[in-house]
Structures are given as structure tokens and as C-alpha cells.
Amino acid sequence: WVTEEELVPLAVFLARVSLTPSARLAFRLFQLEPELVFLFHYNSAHFSSVQECLSSSEFTEHIRKVMTVIDAAVRSLDSLPSLEEYLTGLGRKHRATGVKLESFNTVGESLLYALESGLGDTFTPDARAAWSRLYAIVVSAMSRGWWR
Ligand code: HEM
């Protein structure tokens, strides 16, 4: 269903077009962990390829949801505990989707990749460390909801 032959031309194609940060995140996610495509299915239909998943509106919408959560965390830097209940609930919902906790790290790496490749030198080591910490805070709150 997903082969090196499929991913390589896709990578060449994507490198030529100007990508939004969300598209960079999504592409990197499947480059690092292609099996994740199985967890995204809508109306009981599974995607038959990464390419199909990447171009579906439901999956694009999920990436937007991820970005919205990160954005909410950035906006609530001074009051992160106020997001605790929402984030633990979100973690609990994700356990039901069959995702493994470790896969959240892949999303984090993909986020850093999207920022780095989009911002270039502006994305300093300090900025990288700050984003990495912020994402870790979000994921640790989601993880606290895992067994509740
Ligand atoms: C919902 C999968 C990571 C935020 C969902 C759904 C699936 C899913 C299958 C339900 C269908 C949908 O709304 O599209 C995954 C997988 C992940 C992942 C496989 C990791 C590999 C994340 C992360 C965040 C996030 C890291 C936020 C930081 C959301 C939100 C929803 C959602 C906000 C909607 C929840 C609701 O309807 O109440 N996710 N997700 N997801 N996901 Fe994820």
C-alpha cells in the first residue's frame, strides 16, 4: 500500500512546490511513520495510500486541528493549567483511535521539521528548544488522560 517507489516521487514533487507548514508537517509525519495512515479512516473507509490520505479533506482537517491545539497552547502560555482538562480529554479520545503514545513524538518531530524548513535560519536553536518544550507540555497533558 505504501512503498519506497510511491514516497520518493512524492517527495520530489513536494520539494518543487511551495508547501504550507501544515503540508510539510503531514508529509514528514508519513515519511517518519507511514503506518500511521491506517489510523486515519473516515466513514469506516481506509485510505489505500499515503497520497490519498494526504489529499483528503478529513486528514487535512485533522492537521488543522493539531495546529489549533498548538496555537491554543501558545496563546495560553501564562495559564497552561487552564487547558489541562481539555488536553487530558483529548488524550483519552486518542487512545480510542488506536494510536500509540510514542507516535505523538513523531508528530512533534514533524512539527519541528515544518517550522525549521519553513523558517530557515530564523528558526534559531533557542526557538527550536522553546517549541520542543511547548509541544512536550501539550503531549504530557494528553498522556495524563490516557488511562483516565
Ligand atoms: C481527532 C488520530 C495526534 C488533535 C483525531 C481522530 C483521529 C486522530 C483518528 C478522530 C478523527 C478526526 O477528528 O480526524 C491521530 C493520530 C495522531 C494524532 C493517529 C498521532 C500520530 C494528534 C495531536 C493532536 C491532535 C498531537 C494535538 C496536539 C486532535 C483533535 C481532534 C483529533 C483536536 C478532534 C477531537 C474531537 O473531535 O474532540 N485524531 N491524532 N491529534 N485529534 Fe488527533
Atom number of ligand 1 nearest to Cα 90: 35
Taking CA atoms only, the protein residue closest to ligand 1 atom 1 is 62
How far, in whole angstroms, is CA 72 from its chain's centroid?
A: 15
Task: Locate the ligand 1 atom nearest the alpha carbon of residue 89 and give its number.
Answer: 38
**pLDDT (tens digit per residue) in 39-69:** 999 988 999 889 899 989 999 999 999 999 9
> Burial level of 91, CB count in 10 A (0-12/13-18/19+)?
buried
CA distances from 14 to 27, 28, 119, 144 (A): 9, 11, 17, 36
The chain-wide mean pLDDT, for the chain, equals 89
Contact 10, 51 (CB under 8 A): yes
**What's the ipTM?**
0.97
Binding site membership of 19 for ligand 1 (Cβ less than 6 Å): no
Q: Is the pLDDT of residue 2 over 60?
A: no
Residue 59 alpha carbon, nearest atom of ligand 1: 14
Cell of 139: 503531549
As a whole number of angstroms, the distance between CA 13 and CA 6 comes to: 11
Please choose, from the candidates 104, 102, 73, 107, the residue with its C-alpha nearest in 3D space to the C-alpha of residue 87: 73
| Closest residue to atom 25 of ligand 1, CA basis | 66
Q: Which span out of 5-9, 11-15, 34-38 was modeled with the highest average pLDDT?
A: 34-38
Burial class (CB in 10 A: 0-12, 13-18, 19+), 128: middle
Output the CA 121–ligand 1 centroid distance in Å: 30
- 4, three cell numbers: 519506497
